[in-house]
């Protein structure tokens, strides 16, 4: 009896021990991971779990969230009700989403943070398209944000060898990210180019790196190229840092200090866009960085390891290319005198800035109509639409219905069959058949289409993929 009882207890103890051991085995790597952390994608030093910066190279790990995120499984969309989610760590409180949302009260500003009311949000995604910093996504209750981005590795190199994408074009907004990525891409270029290598005969006109765009990412890349002694060309379709220049007047920037190559730490918290532009112009003047403004890159072709950039002014050849073109694309222009004036916009980023002003909108597609609808919602804004067609034939039904109501009520005036011939400080000259009409205005908003940035990338052969990016815990909903 005693033997049987002892045997029973021994057997039970053995089973319990085996059970505990079998449960313990899979969790062992997790324990190790918690203690040791994960390797930094840049320098491979171990970053302790929960740490924001790499202890080895000091790079904020958030910078790799897109490159490290897994590509989405096709057709694996999560179920649930779609609703907007705002990333508190990226929102700059500009309110563009509030203007873009068709559901009153679904997204509102609480201080400098946009907050979604789940009960009112219908998941249209207009706020996602409107957000200038990519801080909003529509999710279906999952903890991931599905985004469409160009495929890059942790050095920001694409599937086209030698072609790098940085800043907002790569899918991540914010000035600080753009500055950091521009600098890091040049570090990767330096690593990739054999130091001091002789260029083959006849290649004297091939620069080490061509940088497209002179926003925060392109400027930072250009300054780092200069610091590293690379031969370079920086090509900019507009003026220096065109996107920031086009922010609404006196827009306050929400940003953290960042280290600018050849300059040092730049503190731009709550500075106005005018101040930031002034600082950048001074840095460019002091360092001698050459930026070819007013030159647009139209095509990039890689042949025999050398890139050929076709621009509006000629051809450049480069061993490496860094695309820092932002996401706003290249808007189609009217090509009329006066279009370079400060009062001409190709995108509206803050409707409220136009309150009480006389605005002429040019175009007849959805983007023009949506601009008109937003402007007509502003207090005392006088809106006139100039369209060369006679009817809105290419617009969504809901836009057609809304504009019809505004035209009927007289809230908006449309001049059909009109072509803009000139823009002056306080008027625009329109041609209507054989007649000329003068339309007084304070601002002109041109929405006549353009070249989308991803279409440009696909022509070069860059793969665009869908990625599932984990949402940080501070994602804000109402
Ligand atoms: C209204 C508004 C408010 C914002 N507020 C803040 C804020 O407070 N804080 C913050 O951190 N971020 C803010 N942002 C976001 C920030 O401006 C962007 O994240 C940042 O500018 C991205 O930098 P980038 O260099 O990648 O692109 P961009 O600044 O967009 O620069 C791209 C440049 O490339 C040029 N380019 C494009 N195509 C071509 C081509 N084919 N050939 C030659 N040149 C080309 C463009 O003209 C442009 O100058 C705001 C954005 C907007 C619109």
Q: Is a pLDDT exceeding 70 seen at residue 88?
A: yes
Closest CA to 403 of 385, 381, 382, 379: 385
Residues 6 or more apart from 259 whose CB is under 8 A from it? Answer: 179, 183, 265, 266
Q: Is 364 in the pocket of ligand 1 (CB under 6 A)?
A: no
pLDDT at 89: 75
Q: Do the beta carbons of residue 145 and residue 118 sit within 8 Å?
A: no
Beta bridge partners of 191: none
Q: Is 90 in the pocket of ligand 1 (CB under 6 A)?
A: no
152-194+205-329+453-462 belongs to which homologous superfamily? FAD/NAD(P)-binding domain (3.50.50.60)
Of 96-105, 136-145, 461-470, which gets the smallest average pLDDT?
136-145
Q: Is a pLDDT exceeding 80 seen at residue 474?
A: no
Q: Is a pLDDT exceeding 90 seen at residue 257?
A: no
Atom 30 in ligand 1: which residue has the minimum CA distance? 326
Q: Is 167 in the pocket of ligand 1 (CB under 6 A)?
A: yes
Backbone φ and ψ of 181, nearest 5°:
-70, -40
User: Quick one: tokens of 357?
Assistant: 């002003």
Q: Is a pLDDT exceeding 60 seen at residue 476?
A: no
Q: Which atom of ligand 1 is nearest to the CA of 242?
A: 49
d(CA 373, CA 378): 9
pLDDT at 76: 53
Q: Is 243 in the pocket of ligand 1 (CB under 6 A)?
A: yes
Q: Is a pLDDT exceeding 50 seen at residue 402?
A: yes
pLDDT at 64: 86
Q: Is 369 in the pocket of ligand 1 (CB under 6 A)?
A: no
Highest averaged pLDDT of the listed ranges 111-120, 241-250, 251-260: 111-120
Q: Is 133 in the pocket of ligand 1 (CB under 6 A)?
A: yes
Helix axes 175-192, 216-227, angle to 10 degrees: 40
Of 109-113, 160-164, 386-390, 453-457, which gets the smallest average pLDDT?
109-113
Q: Is 409 exposed, middle or buried (0-12, 13-18, 19+ CB in 10 A)?
A: exposed
Confidence of residue 204 (pLDDT cuts 50, 70, 90): confident
CA–centroid distance, 320 to ligand 1, in Å, is 22
Residue to substitute in 215, 309, 353 for testing ligand 1 pocket (most ligand atoms within 8 angstroms of CB): 215
pTM attached to this predicted model: 0.75
For the chain, percent of residues with pLDDT exceeding 90: 46
Residue to substitute in 99, 114, 175, 186 for testing ligand 1 pocket (most ligand atoms within 8 angstroms of CB): 175
d(CA 358, CA 380): 9
Q: Do the beta carbons of residue 309 and residue 459 sit within 8 Å?
A: no
Q: Is 95 in the pocket of ligand 1 (CB under 6 A)?
A: no
Residue to substitute in 62, 177, 212, 244 for testing ligand 1 pocket (most ligand atoms within 8 angstroms of CB): 244
Average pLDDT, the chain: 84
Q: Is 213 in the pocket of ligand 1 (CB under 6 A)?
A: yes
Mean pLDDT, rounded, for 264-287: 85
pLDDT at 87: 82
Q: Is 177 in the pocket of ligand 1 (CB under 6 A)?
A: no
Confidence of residue 7 (pLDDT cuts 50, 70, 90): low
Confidence of residue 399 (pLDDT cuts 50, 70, 90): confident
CA–centroid distance, 178 to ligand 1, in Å, is 9
Confidence of residue 119 (pLDDT cuts 50, 70, 90): confident
Q: Is 171 in the pocket of ligand 1 (CB under 6 A)?
A: no
pLDDT at 23: 40
For residue 328, how many other CB atoms are within 10 A of its CB?
Answer: 19
pLDDT in tens, 11-46: 455 444 444 444 443 333 343 444 468 888 888 888
Mean pLDDT, rounded, for 330-357: 88
Q: DSSP label at 167?
A: G
Q: Is a pLDDT exceeding 70 seen at residue 206?
A: yes
For residue 207, how many other CB atoms are within 10 A of its CB?
Answer: 21
pLDDT in tens, 434-471: 999 999 999 999 999 887 789 899 999 999 998 877 76
Mean pLDDT, rounded, for 190-194: 89
CATH of 69-149, one of 3.30.300.20, 3.50.50.60, 3.30.70.360, 3.30.70.20: 3.30.70.20
Backbone φ and ψ of 60, nearest 5°:
-65, 130
Q: Is 178 in the pocket of ligand 1 (CB under 6 A)?
A: yes
Mean pLDDT, rounded, for 345-360: 87
Q: Is a pLDDT exceeding 90 seen at residue 322?
A: yes
Residue to substitute in 133, 184, 284, 353 for testing ligand 1 pocket (most ligand atoms within 8 angstroms of CB): 133
Q: Is 247 in the pocket of ligand 1 (CB under 6 A)?
A: yes
Q: Is a pLDDT exceeding 80 seen at residue 122?
A: yes
Residues 6 or more apart from 128 whose CB is under 8 A from it? Answer: 84, 136, 137, 138
Atom 17 in ligand 1: which residue has the minimum CA distance? 244
For residue 340, how many other CB atoms are within 10 A of its CB?
Answer: 11
Higher pLDDT among residues 29 and 6, named by residue? 6
Residue to substitute in 92, 293, 346 for testing ligand 1 pocket (most ligand atoms within 8 angstroms of CB): 92
CA–centroid distance, 169 to ligand 1, in Å, is 9
pLDDT at 30: 40
Specify the DSSP element, H or E, that contains 134.
Answer: none
Atom 35 in ligand 1: which residue has the minimum CA distance? 213
Mean pLDDT, rounded, for 371-386: 94
CA–centroid distance, 415 to ligand 1, in Å, is 33
What DSSP string describes 446-459?
Answer: E---EE-HHHHHHH
Mean pLDDT, rounded, for 309-318: 96
CA–centroid distance, 385 to ligand 1, in Å, is 27
- Asked whether the domain spanning 344-451 has the same topology as the one spanning 152-194+205-329+453-462, the reply is yes
Q: Which atom of ligand 1 is nearest to the CA of 349?
A: 1
Strands (E) in 304-441, as ranges, are 306-311, 314-323, 330-331, 344-345, 358-362, 382-387, 412-416, 418-423, 427-432, 435-440
Q: Is 222 in the pocket of ligand 1 (CB under 6 A)?
A: no
Domain ranges of the chain: 36-68, 69-149, 152-194+205-329+453-462, 344-451
Q: Is a pLDDT exceeding 90 seen at residue 222?
A: yes
CA–centroid distance, 166 to ligand 1, in Å, is 11
d(CA 293, CA 283): 16
CA–centroid distance, 9 to ligand 1, in Å, is 72
For residue 31, how many other CB atoms are within 10 A of its CB?
Answer: 10
Backbone φ and ψ of 85, nearest 5°:
-135, 130
Residue to substitute in 134, 270, 325, 460 for testing ligand 1 pocket (most ligand atoms within 8 angstroms of CB): 325
Mean pLDDT, rounded, for 401-410: 94
Q: Is 238 in the pocket of ligand 1 (CB under 6 A)?
A: yes
Write out the CATH class of domain 344-451: alpha beta
């Amino acid at each position: 009896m005693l033997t049987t009882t002892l045997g029973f207890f021994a057997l039970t103890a053995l089973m319990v021990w085996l059970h505990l051991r079998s449960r313990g085995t899979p969790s062992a790597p997790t324990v190790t991971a918690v203690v040791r952390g994960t390797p930094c994608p840049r320098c491979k030093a171990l970053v302790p779990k929960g740490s924001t910066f790499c202890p080895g190279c000091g790079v904020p790990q958030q910078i790799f969230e897109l490159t490290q995120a897994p590509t989405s499984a096709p057709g694996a969309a999560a179920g649930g009700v779609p609703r907007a989610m705002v990333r508190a760590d990226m929102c700059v409180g500009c309110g563009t989403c509030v203007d873009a949302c068709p559901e009153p009260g679904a997204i509102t500003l609480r201080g400098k943070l946009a907050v979604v009311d789940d009960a009112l949000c219908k998941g249209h995604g207009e706020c996602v398209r409107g957000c200038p910093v990519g801080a909003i996504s529509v999710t279906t209750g999952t903890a991931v944000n599905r985004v469409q981005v160009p495929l890059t590795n942790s050095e920001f190199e694409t599937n086209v060898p030698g072609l790098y994408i940085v800043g907002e074009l790569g899918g991540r907004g914010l000035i600080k990210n753009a500055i950091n990525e521009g600098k890091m891409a040049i570090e990767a270029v330096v690593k990739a180019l054999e130091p001091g290598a002789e260029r083959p005969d006849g290649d004297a006109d091939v620069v080490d790196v061509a940088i497209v765009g002179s926003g925060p990412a392109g400027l930072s890349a250009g300054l780092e190229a200069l610091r590293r002694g690379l031969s370079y060309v920086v090509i900019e379709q507009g003026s220096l840092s065109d996107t920031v220049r086009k922010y609404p007047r006196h827009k306050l920037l929400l940003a953290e200090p960042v280290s600018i190559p050849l300059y040092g730490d730049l503190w731009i918290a709550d500075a106005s866009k005018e101040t930031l532009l002034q600082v950048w112009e001074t840095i460019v003047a002091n360092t001698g960085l050459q930026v070819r403004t007013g030159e647009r890159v139209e095509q990039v072709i890689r042949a025999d390891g050398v890139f050929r950039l076709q621009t509006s002014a000629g051809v450049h050849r480069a061993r490496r290319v860094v695309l820092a073109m932002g996401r706003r694309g290249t808007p189609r222009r009217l090509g009329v005198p006066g279009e370079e004036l400060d009062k001409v916009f190709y995108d509206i980023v803050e409707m409220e800035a136009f309150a009480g002003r006389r605005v002429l909108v040019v175009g007849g597609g959805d983007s023009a109509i949506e601009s008109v609808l937003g402007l007509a919602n502003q207090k005392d804004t006088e809106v006139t639409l100039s369209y060369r067609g006679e009817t809105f034939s290419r617009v969504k039904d809901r836009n057609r219905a809304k504009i019809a109501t505004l035209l009927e009520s007289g809230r908006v005036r449309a001049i059909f069959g009109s072509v803009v011939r000139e823009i002056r400080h306080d008027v625009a000259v329109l041609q209507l058949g054989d007649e000329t009409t003068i339309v007084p205005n304070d601002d002109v908003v041109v929405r006549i289409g353009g070249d989308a940035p991803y279409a440009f990338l696909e022509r070069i052969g860059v793969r665009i993929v869908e990625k599932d990016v984990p949402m940080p815990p501070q994602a804000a909903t109402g």
